[in-house]
Amino acid sequence: MQLHLFHGRTTPDESLQDWGFDGPTINGITGLTGTYGEIYVHFESEQDLYKAQKQTGWDVFGDFALVLRFQEDLLQTADGYFGDWELIQS
């Protein structure tokens, strides 16, 4: 599966005049887990995990997962803040 981030902005308080920019497409995902206010993205391999970690800056959790980072209602990565995201079959 792939995680696609879109409607990006460079700061959380940026007022968008259009739909914003697309973020990275993160590949090699096997699933998502939500627990106690955290969302974890699980990966097929260590290689997929570290590629995604480099793309996003998210913290590693366990052997093959990253923790999604939110700033209020926006998904935060190393490159921006995203109002929308989707998990799709690759």
Give the Å distances, CA to CA, from 56 to 3, 17, 18, 81. 11, 24, 23, 11
Q: Where are the domains of the chain?
A: 2-11+20-88
**pLDDT band with cut points at 50, 70 and 90 for residue 23:** very high
Amino acid 16: pLDDT: 85
Summarize pLDDT for 27-69 with one digit per residue, the tens.
999 999 999 999 999 999 999 999 999 999 999 999 899 999 9
**pLDDT band with cut points at 50, 70 and 90 for residue 90:** confident
**Chain-wide mean pLDDT for the chain?**
95
* pLDDT > 90? residue 17: no
CA distance 6 to 83: 7
Amino acid 71: pLDDT: 94
